Copies of this chain bind each other. A is one copy, B any other.
Amino acid sequence: MPSPADVLPELDDRQLDLLRRVGQEWTGAPHDSAGGGPSLPVDPRLGVLPTADLVTPEGFGRLVTIGESSGGPRSAAEGSEVPRGPGPTGRARRALLGPPLKSTALARESMRKLVALPVLSADALSSVAYGPEAMLAVLVLAGAAGLALSLPIAGAIAFLMLAVSLSYRQTVRAYPRGGGSYIVASDNLGRLSGLAAAAGLMTDYVLTVAVSIASGVAAITSALPGLGGATVPIGVGVIAVLLAGNMRGIRQAGALFAAPTYAFLLAMFALLAAGAADAYQRGFQSISAPATAHAAEGLGLLLVMRAFASGATAMTGIEAISNAVPAFKPVRWRNARVTLTVMATLLITLFAGVMFLTHMTGVVPNGRETVLSQLAHLTFGSGPAYLAVQAATAAVLLLAANTAYNDFPRVLYLLARDHYAPRLFLRLGDRLAFSNGIALLSVAARLVFVAFSGSTAALIPLYAVGVFLAFTLSQAGMVVHWWRLRDTHWHKSLVFNAIGCLLCALVLVTAAITKFAAGAWVALVIIALFLFVTTRIRRHYDEVARALRLHPDSAERPGHTLVTSHRAGSGALTAPSRGEQEETPAAIHHLAVVAIASLDLAGLRALAYAAALQQPMLALHISPSDEEAERFRRYWEVWGDHLPLRTLVSPYRVIAGPLVHYVEAIHREHPDLTVTVILPEIVTRRLRHRPLHSGIAGRLRRALRPLPKVVVTTVPFHID
């Protein structure tokens, strides 16, 4: 659950004490309100504004077009206290996403088992639509000899499913607050393992979206071959719908999402029952594969292993329930366990059933029509029953893709909370969804989907590695967990988890070796990159936190910079930013530099602003030549020479360089000065007028930003 403390960290006693000591330095500073600084011209009542009336969702929308409101004294005279509505962009956004939600709406609802089962198992159960097919697609390369092995391999996978679900039953008990692979691995195996699990999970989620949609579209195009050429556009469209839906926050609609899963279960059991009846009529005489299935490869161990690893993708999603224990009604872990058991039973039944039926009918993957569709055709013909099977399959696959839309941003949030991912993934959008994570998943899934032309067969080799890496680390973490805890039944749990871990590791190694060239290397490279990037991000955030931390030195420091640079030699943990330690008013000595191009109203306003600050100031003009500088000086004298003026000649017609040089020269002479560079800026109301102005203020701001002890102030001049 996101908490506000993610943004404003809690301070412990030591830090509070530090804050107190730092504050003591401010006592007697020129501006202490207790010590009588300039009196505040603002009504204190303004502190409690905006009132409840003003705080409408629309009024606070991020996309309010501020320019439309005058806001100045005139609107007060007209008594216009009405909050602004959203602009045209804002309105389009509202229509698409709905009005923003208050943070307090973030109450998590609890799910009954009958709702939790379909919502949480869509990913796992829908894997039956591509897992068996992926396995057969490998075996068929070895012809009839290969296909003959389909039942034994399917048996091995079913055993794996059993072992892994037994293993996850232990996780559910141990982590009643949700035991995602990232958390379990981090807790028990250390940070790096946690990150590796997260890497596996996140590639898994991207591929879940891509594979589920590819497979869902295949279910549709099998039924409607006319759409065969449009796989990529359909898939991209589906991703766009998922993006919009999740931005809107469809996560809440659990009950609605129960339907596709139950429909799929119904359709599949009907198919299996009808298929079994047919097989019974034929006396369980299996139809051999068509003669076209000639052997392209020899039947070796590698091929068998490859088929096993491909078929194991039917297990993806099996971990979903262990992540979501808090979503159940109490007793949460017990209900979650029951649901997990039911799901595993259903999964194994469906998987075994589909494998049995393909064996009986001799159906093989053919690239035009999915195996499930072929089975349904053989069993139900082409009537409404067939179409219902296809529709239910497509629906449950889309639902499975949607599951990833819940999980991917959550893992990203956890990473961001632990400073392994950019802070922007902490932010909840208007609709309380992690909009940035949702957007990132959509972009990544779209890229993968398009790059592989929406082909399930091409995507499968990438899939297994990430999933089984996360599984393996998660179970290994559980083994360590039980070993450390040693509560009642720890022996049994440890054994279950150890078996699950070993089997998953076996699949992981198998997948990495046998599918390396076919695409697993991509997954491995991405996981390695992920580890590299996340640890670098963490390092940067640690540096930032160190730099921002109130440190003991700060409370004892005499408040003058020159001393610090002397002390820096002592090797103490001081001076986070060289020479920049002006954190008390007494340490700050102002100098304002107004960069002025011409004596028009915009320039005069900037000068007046600076002069009214009553701090030391000068005006700076940069000319292309001495003659021009002289001309400007003449105007300046006509104006009355009210302020000190410096002119610089820039024979290369650049402004930023000389300005930066000048400010640096000031700092060389007077390292104690904080230089405020004041820039007049012409602000146009319309975006299309922006290119007509030089944007020099923006360029100067960017040029000055890296300089220490330089503050940039822009004084706007509005053109209506």
Also in contact, A671 and B50, with CB within 8 A (given A541-B692, A640-B27, A707-B66): no
Q: Report which residue of A72, A427, A550, A662 has the largest number of chain B beta carbons within 10 angstroms of its beta carbon.
A: A72
A367 within 8 Å of B by Cβ? no
A717 within 8 Å of B by Cβ? yes
Q: Report which residue of A540, A580, A615, A661 has the largest number of chain B beta carbons within 10 angstroms of its beta carbon.
A: A661
Nearest residue (CB) in B for A658 is: B60
Shortest A581–chain B CB gap in Å is: 8
Also in contact, A8 and B588, with CB within 8 A (given A73-B565, A74-B565, A578-B720): no
How many angstroms between the C-alpha atoms of A610 and B589 in the bound complex? Answer: 11
Of residues 41 through 93 on chain A, the ones whose CB sits less than 8 Å from some CB of chain B are: 41-43, 46-47, 49-50, 54-55, 57, 59-62, 64, 66-67, 69-77
A341 within 8 Å of B by Cβ? no
How many angstroms between the C-alpha atoms of A541 and B424 in the bound complex? Answer: 40
A529 within 8 Å of B by Cβ? no
Check if A576 sits within 8 Å of B547, measured CB to CB: no
Also in contact, A585 and B601, with CB within 8 A (given A20-B640, A74-B578, A578-B74): no
Segment touching B, from A210-218, A271-279, A457-465, A623-631: A623-631
How many angstroms between the C-alpha atoms of A701 and B683 in the bound complex? Answer: 12
Check if B643 sits within 8 Å of A33, measured CB to CB: yes
Check if A714 sits within 8 Å of B712, measured CB to CB: yes
Chain A 619-644 per-residue mask, 1 if CB under 8 angstroms from chain B, else 0? 00001110110011001001111111
**Residue in contact with A642 in the complex, picked from B23, B598, B652, B681, CB distance below 8 Å:** B23
A673 within 8 Å of B by Cβ? yes
**Residue in contact with A67 in the complex, picked from B76, B601, B646, B706, CB distance below 8 Å:** B706
A330 within 8 Å of B by Cβ? no
A710 within 8 Å of B by Cβ? yes
Check if A20 sits within 8 Å of B638, measured CB to CB: yes
Nearest residue (CB) in B for A50 is: B661
Also in contact, A718 and B577, with CB within 8 A (given A652-B60, A685-B706): yes
Residues of B within 8 A of A599 (CB): 19, 550
5 contacts between A and B (CB under 8 A): A19-B639, A23-B638, A74-B565, A685-B706, A711-B716
Segment touching B, from A96-104, A127-135, A150-158, A505-513: A96-104
A572 within 8 Å of B by Cβ? no
Of residues 13 through 32 on chain A, the ones whose CB sits less than 8 Å from some CB of chain B are: 16, 19-20, 22-24, 26-27, 29-32
Number of interface residues of A (CB under 8 A): 175
A451 within 8 Å of B by Cβ? no
Check if A661 sits within 8 Å of B578, measured CB to CB: no
Also in contact, A708 and B718, with CB within 8 A (given A62-B657, A638-B20, A703-B66): yes
Chain A 534-560 per-residue mask, 1 if CB under 8 angstroms from chain B, else 0? 000100110110011110001000000
Check if B50 sits within 8 Å of A718, measured CB to CB: no
Check if B612 sits within 8 Å of A590, measured CB to CB: yes
Of residues 579 through 633 on chain A, the ones whose CB sits less than 8 Å from some CB of chain B are: 579-580, 582-591, 597-602, 604-605, 608-618, 623-625, 627-628, 631-632
Also in contact, A33 and B73, with CB within 8 A (given A41-B616, A577-B720): no
**Residue in contact with A705 in the complex, picked from B69, B554, B683, CB distance below 8 Å:** B683
How many angstroms between the C-alpha atoms of A64 and B702 in the bound complex? Answer: 12
Of residues 681 through 711 on chain A, the ones whose CB sits less than 8 Å from some CB of chain B are: 681-685, 689, 691-694, 701, 703, 705-711
Nearest residue (CB) in B for A661 is: B50
Residues of B within 8 A of A72 (CB): 578-580, 667, 671, 708-709
